[in-house]
């Protein structure tokens, strides 16, 4: 399975379970792996034969900077839903969201949620881990 990676996109948002997270906001780091067949674009050299990653970035930005959610799990799910809905060439997506400023009384660098979502009949079992 071919893929396009968008790594370490940084946004400021108001997601979190605690009132102070919703009031003050914080930085989030999002990475995506978009699964699709890149053969047609490799042969044609035409943007219409792949996924426009500038448009994908904008889809992610709208979710991250839009209405606040309590859980990173929900934010990741919304990103997966939006991107898959808007880009029919995609067979699947992996979303990773990192919260570097975790309100935990202890030493922790960050918390990260990762999820994969596939279209019905997608090739989840055929891809190899990088």
CB atoms within 10 A of CB 4: 16
- Produce one character per residue of 31-66: b if its CB has 16 or more CB atoms within 10 Å, e if not: bbbbbbebeebeeeeeeebbbeeeebeebbeebbee
Q: What is the pLDDT of residue 104?
A: 80
Place of tokens 């071919």: 2
Active site residue 22: no
Q: Can you give the pLDDT of all 130 residues of the chain as single tens digits?
A: 899 999 999 999 999 999 999 999 999 999 999 999 999 999 999 999 999 999 999 999 999 999 999 999 999 999 999 999 999 999 999 999 999 988 788 888 899 999 999 998 766 655 444 4
| Three-state SS letters, 43-107 | HHCCHHHCCCHHHHHHHHHHHHCCCCCCCHHHHHHHHHHHHHHHCCCCCEEEEEEEECCCCCCCC
Distance CA 13, CA 11 (A): 6
Q: What is the pLDDT of residue 129?
A: 44
Which one from 15, 78, 87, 99 is the annotated catalytic residue? 99
| Contact predicate 31/8, CB 8 Å | yes
Domain ranges of the chain: 2-126
Q: 2-126: what fold?
A: GTP Cyclohydrolase I, domain 2 (3.30.1130)
Sign of CA dihedral 124, 45, 84, 82: positive
**pTM of the shown model:** 0.90
């Amino acid at each position: 399975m071919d893929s396009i990676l968008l790594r370490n996109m940084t946004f400021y948002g108001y997601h979190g379970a605690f009132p102070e997270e919703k009031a003050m906001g914080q930085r989030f780091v999002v990475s995506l792996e978009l699964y699709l067949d890149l053969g047609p674009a490799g042969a044609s050299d035409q943007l219409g034969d792949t996924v426009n990653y500038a448009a994908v970035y904008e889809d992610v930005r709208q979710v991250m900077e839009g209405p606040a959610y309590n859980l990173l799990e929900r934010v990741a799910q919304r990103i997966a839903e939006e991107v898959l809905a808007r880009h029919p060439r995609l067979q699947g997506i992996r979303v990773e969201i990192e919260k570097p400023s975790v309100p935990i009384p202890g030493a922790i660098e960050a918390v990260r949620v990762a999820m994969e979502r596939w279209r019905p009949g997608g090739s989840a079992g055929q891809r190899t881990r990088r």
